[in-house]
Amino acid sequence: MNELTLYHFMTDKLNLYSDIGNIIALKQRAKWRNIKLNVVEVNETEGVTFDGCDIFFIGGGSDREQALATKELSKIKSKLKDAIEEGMPGLTICGGYQFLGNKYITPDGTELEGLGILDFYTQSKKERLTGDIVIESDTFGTIVGFENHGGRTYHNYDTLGKVTHGFGNNDEDGKEGIHYKNLLGTYLHGPILPKNHEITDYLLEQACIRKGIPFEPRQLDNTAEEAAKQAIVDRFENK
């Protein structure tokens, strides 16, 4: 059986609104393709390299946990940046997405330094952006999820798509997330991957291509996943 290895960073601090479900979805869709996905939990980063890593995941967290995680991850920020630049697939959620940027400004004006891997910033406000969210993406089609964040993220990179219901990166430009090389950052919890099989498969396929192992069959039966997605879309359309 072919194998892939996923590094799951900061599992002891970052896991909101069932983010762990993303790992379960990746494992299951890999298994359906006869690929074993090994998950390595990385909570202490000293000496960690990306040599054995094929794909990585960082979940969301409160401002406090996010600050602690940033401190730990800053020890390997240049290695993480190199991995992203070299095209390693990765998924980062909410707090885990925000700290890839230069800074996170809390509602009381305190500036928390980010990892500075990408050139963007997040300004947080007391008023939170909360609820179900629907996005139309050129790459992934319709994406659904749940968001709950005070942070408003501003950048000029490619995004995951256009928000049709909800907020996304901020409450101004109607865009959601970031798509840089094979790195995806998003505000979507829920968790995002079980309902959005296109994104799960994208991450797995990129990892397989890089490792030189087959990603077959390309298409699976997605009836259950599509029904779960439609249930969220219907919440808006039946209002």
Residues flagged as binding site for substrate: 128
Among the listed residues 8, 149, 155, 189, the single catalytic one is 189
**Binding to ligand GLN by residue 170, rule CB under 6 A?**
no
**Would you say 150 or 185 has its CB closer to ligand GLN?**
150
**Binding to ligand GLN by residue 13, rule CB under 6 A?**
no
**Binding to ligand GLN by residue 168, rule CB under 6 A?**
no
Among the listed residues 53, 94, 155, 197, the single catalytic one is 94
**Binding to ligand GLN by residue 18, rule CB under 6 A?**
no
Active site residue 208: no
**Would you say 48 or 94 has its CB closer to ligand GLN?**
94
Q: Count of CB atoms within 10 A of residue 218's CB?
A: 9
Closest residue by beta carbon to ligand GLN: 60
Which among 139, 134, 151, 180 has a CA at the least distance from the CA of 16?
A: 151
**Would you say 38 or 110 has its CB closer to ligand GLN?**
110
**Which pair of structure tokens corresponds to residue 128?**
């939170």
Q: How far apart are CA 106 and CA 19, in angstroms?
A: 23
CB of 59 to ligand GLN, least distance (A): 8
Q: What are phi and psi of 47, to 5 degrees?
A: 80, 0
CB of 11 to ligand GLN, least distance (A): 14
Q: Count of CB atoms within 10 A of residue 15's CB?
A: 22
- E strands of the chain, at which residues? 2-9, 35-42, 55-58, 90-93, 103-105, 111-113, 121-137, 141-154, 161-165, 175-176, 178-180, 183-186
Q: How far apart are CA 184 and CA 132, in angstroms?
A: 19
Provide the mask over 133-162, with x wherever binding to ligand GLN is found by CB under 6 A and - wherever it is not. Answer: ---------------xxxx-----------
Q: Looking at residue 189, what DSSP letter applies? A: B
| Binding site residues, ligand GLN, CB under 6 A | 16, 60-63, 66, 94-95, 124, 148-151
